[in-house]
A and B are shown apart, each in its own frame.
Chain A
Amino acid sequence: MAPRIVQISTSALICSFVLLPLLAVWGQADGPTGLGPADWSALRFTILQAALSALLSTLSAVPLARALARAQFWGRAAVIRLMGAPFILPVIVAILGLIAVFGQNGWLNTGLRSLGFGSFSIYGLQGVLLAHVFFNLPLATRMILLGWATIPQERLRLGQSLDLRGFARFRLIEFPMLMTVLPSAVVVIFVICLSSFTVALALGGGPKSTTLELAIYQAFRFDFDFAKAALLGLVQLGVSALAAVFALGFAWGHQLGIGLDRPIALGRHSTLQKYLDGVVIGAALLFLGLPLLLVLGNGLGSVTSLPAAVWMAALRSVLIALGATALCMLLSLSLLSRGGEAIATLGITVSPLVLGTGLFLIARPYVNPFEISLWVTLCVNALMSLPFAVRILRPEMSQVDANFRWLSASLGLSRLGWWRWVVWPRLRRPFGFAAGLTAALSMGDLGVIALFGDAERATLPLKLYQLMGSYRMEQAAGCASLLLILSFGFFWVFDFLGRRNA
């Protein structure tokens, strides 16, 4: 454990970094009378899309998880690992891929048109839902899969010896498990979607499909109405705080690093079921994989010919990602306790846009906020990854403490010796994993920077968004490929460094 004084000052630092912007937002906000019909509609849409996204993702995850749980095929472990990938996938890249498949000139609509059907629009509610399912279907699948893995072997064998089949088996063995897992999956995804910004920015918009986050952005960026932005920020804060309290009982983050090595012996299933499982898994892979393959297919070739402005943006993003990772890991090491975990979670209960608005308001009297936009982005990115880093590191740290504290005390290890010989060798692997996640998340983040960023200070995701906005699709694809490579590259490098020789 870190010394008490370090723990306390880190906690104080984080609290003030979160609370001061909130106070600033509070001070700026109009009374509740300031909420117009458009704002109420944004609130309604935010909740509606989050609820629908959560239900759709979770329900479609059930058959997929069931198929993955019992199917036995080559590459099963890889497919399950791949289900963790969307977590670090830059949202804006995925959206570009989804547009390539489902957009106006995408594969789907080209096919529909040639068959003489009407076309599907990726913009509006259905587009937001599509993107949210794309991101959260794998998350829900992993959570439910974990549920299947926790059914005790004995119960499955008991089922087999009682010759439970079909519906009886489902009702007696699987249904009770689903009832414990599904609510938490729904709640977690609901909370995630409540403050989803990038998806709404790219695919939503207009009076009918604007989320609160998007409304904050618009009030800020286009109307320069800081009071309105602050008021909406408070509403957003209320909604997500309510949801967070609701979700507090449900653990998340656990499912980030698991490997489910063995298929689960549910009992015999027919050949028809095996084919159905294959179809379900194949369809999911197509849905999740095709957009990314299209991005890479369209863009890899043009990466080398990207303009200098894109490379500059990439450099900025790389530096921010490295800085955010260093900051986040440093903070997380001093927060490896129960109280520390609570402090770390504080960061994500406040949405980045609200935080950004507050920081903007604080900075405005003293400096030109746009000049510090990259620093703010770095800090906010570190803060957003902090809960994940702490959750990944803490179990190992508790283990180290429980197993080796006495042995170390009897050897008289100094604080330095304790870290060097005991903690670091044990913590290295999860540390590398957490650093990889942080770097990748920071690399792909499009939040605060959208609020503050201008052309001279764009990060790579913002640059990509700007290219998409001006319909330079070929450059956008190249830019997206670069972003994808950098994000996954960061994750891979850090994770590898943690594992090497361990």
Chain B
Amino acid sequence: MLDLQNLKIRQGSFQLTASLCGLDAKIYAIMGPSGAGKSTFLAALAGFLPVSSGAVLWNGQNITGLRPAQRPMAMLFQDNNLFPHLSAKRNVALALTQRRYLSSIRQEQVKAALSRVGLGGFEASKPGELSGGQQSRVALARVLLQDKPILLLDEPFTALGPALKNEMLDLLQTLAQERQATVLMVTHDPNDALRIADETLLLSDQVLSPPQPTTQVMASPPKALAAYLGLD
């Protein structure tokens, strides 16, 4: 259960406020006009940017002061989700250990994670040798092994073509449901939200509004979103 209590984020002249309670094991889309601060919000939630006031609670525990790795969150960025000089196996294994030596149990875990995302046999490949879709899969495999209850996604599949993107969204949905994860996904594409997001959070005019069912939001979008989507 994720609660945001009066969270205020300030970046120079930019500022936003978020107050939410009871986000649970669903997929939430975060939508809003460009420059509304969707990525900034996610980065602050993950602990990369400081918040100026308010608190983030996970199951009632205040996690506002924790470092990114200590939070119950894993994150996929827009790009640079993999170290290009490390093999797929090593990239995934960094979720488990920073030592060079991989015990046979961990080897198996890494292998299983890669197979789970459909990349069995690609252990030795470097990101440069993989397609864009395969790279996203490696990143997902690592997130699986990080084994965090909350997953934050900052448009990680934007660079993929439509078919591939849908494939990744579906895979993400399956994995999230399997693990009962809470997913917050920034997107600018209403189709992404409609495809997998149970509920949608709108970010406009410096305020993050509470979740509403995605179908409902898309059927009668509020003014700011409608303008962004070009619907008026």
| Most chain A CB atoms below 10 A, which of B46, B69, B77, B83 | B83
Q: Are A410 and B85 touching (Cβ within 8 A)? A: no
Residue on B nearest A422 in the bound complex, by CB? B83
Question: In the assembly, what is the distance between CA of A417 and CA of B95, in Å?
Answer: 12
Cα–Cα, bound, A414→B48 (Å): 16
Contacts of B69 in A (CB 8 A): 409-413
B 133-172 contacts with A by CB, 8 A: 146
Instruction: Check if B48 sits within 8 Å of A421, measured CB to CB.
Output: no
Q: Interface of chain B, helix or strand or loop or mixed? A: loop
Query: Closest approach, in angstroms, between the C-beta of A241 and any C-beta of chain B?
Result: 38
Q: Are A413 and B68 within 8 A (Cβ)?
A: no
Proximity string of chain B (85-110) to chain A, C-beta cutoff 8 Å, 1 when within and 0 when not: 11000100011001000000000000
Judge whether B94 and A413 touch: CB under 8 Å: yes
- Are A407 and B95 in contact (CB-based, < 8 A)? no
How distant is B131 from chain A, measured CB to nearest CB, in Å? 20
B125 at the interface (CB under 8 A from A): no
Residues of B within 8 A of A413 (CB): 69, 94, 98
Cross-chain contact A410 with B46 (CB below 8 angstroms): yes
The answer to whether B80 touches A411, judged by C-beta atoms less than 8 angstroms apart, is no
Chain B hits for A414, CB < 8 A: 98
Q: Say if the beta carbon of A167 comes within 8 Å of chain B.
A: no
* Contact with B74, one of A406, A410, A416, A417 (Cβ below 8 angstroms): A410
Within 8 A of B (CB), among A307-347: none
> B85–A426 contact, CB under 8 A?
yes
CB pair A425–B98 under 8 Å, yes or no, is: no
Nearest-neighbor residue (CB-CB) of A405 within chain B: B48
Q: A368 in the interface, Cβ–Cβ < 8 Å?
A: no
Cα separation A404 to B91 with both chains bound (whole Å): 12
Question: Which of these, B47, B74, B86, contacts A421 with CB under 8 Å?
Answer: B86
Contact B83 A421 (CB under 8 A): yes
Q: Are B98's CB and A404's CB within 8 A?
A: no
Contact of B67 among A403, A409, A426, A502 (CB under 8 A): A409
User: How far is it, in angstroms, between the C-alpha of A491 and the C-alpha of B74 when the chains are bound?
Assistant: 44
Q: Which of A412, A414, A422 has the most CB of B within 10 A?
A: A412
Shortest Cβ distance from B113 into chain A, in angstroms?
15
> Nearest chain A CB to B103's CB is how many angstroms away?
17
The answer to whether B115 has its CB under 8 Å from any CB of chain A is: no
Structural contact, B68 and A410, CB atoms closer than 8 A: yes
For the complex, what is the distance from the CA of A330 to the CA of B95, rounded to whole Å? 30
- A410 and B94 in contact, given A403-B80, A422-B83 (Cβ under 8 angstroms): no
Distance (whole angstroms) from the CB of A184 to the closest CB of chain B = 34
Q: Is B75 an interface residue (CB 8 A)?
A: yes
B80 and A416 contact, CB distance less than 8 A = no
Contact A409–B48 (Cβ < 8 Å): yes
Contact B83 A409 (CB under 8 A): no
- List CB contacts (< 8 Å) of B21-77 with chain A: 43, 46-48, 67-70, 73-75, 77
Q: By the criterion CB–CB under 8 Å, are A409 and B98 in contact? A: no
Closest beta carbon of chain B to A63's beta carbon, Å? 41
B127 shortest CB reach to chain A, Å: 12
Minimal Cβ-Cβ distance residue in B for A411: B94
Task: Name the one of B48, B70, B83, B90 contacting A406, with C-beta atoms under 8 angstroms.
Answer: B48
Per CB-CB distance, the 3 closest pairs between chain A and chain B, nearest first, are A412-B69, A417-B98, A425-B85
* B contact residues vs A (CB 8 Å cutoff): 43, 46-48, 67-70, 73-75, 77, 80-81, 83, 85-86, 90, 94-95, 98, 146
18 of the cross-chain contacts (CB-CB < 8 Å) are: A404-B80, A404-B83, A406-B43, A406-B68, A406-B77, A406-B80, A407-B77, A409-B67, A409-B69, A410-B46, A411-B94, A412-B67, A412-B68, A413-B94, A421-B83, A421-B94, A425-B83, A425-B86
Further contacts, 8 of them, CB under 8 A, given A407-B81, A421-B86, A502-B85 = A406-B77, A407-B80, A409-B68, A410-B68, A410-B74, A411-B146, A412-B69, A413-B69
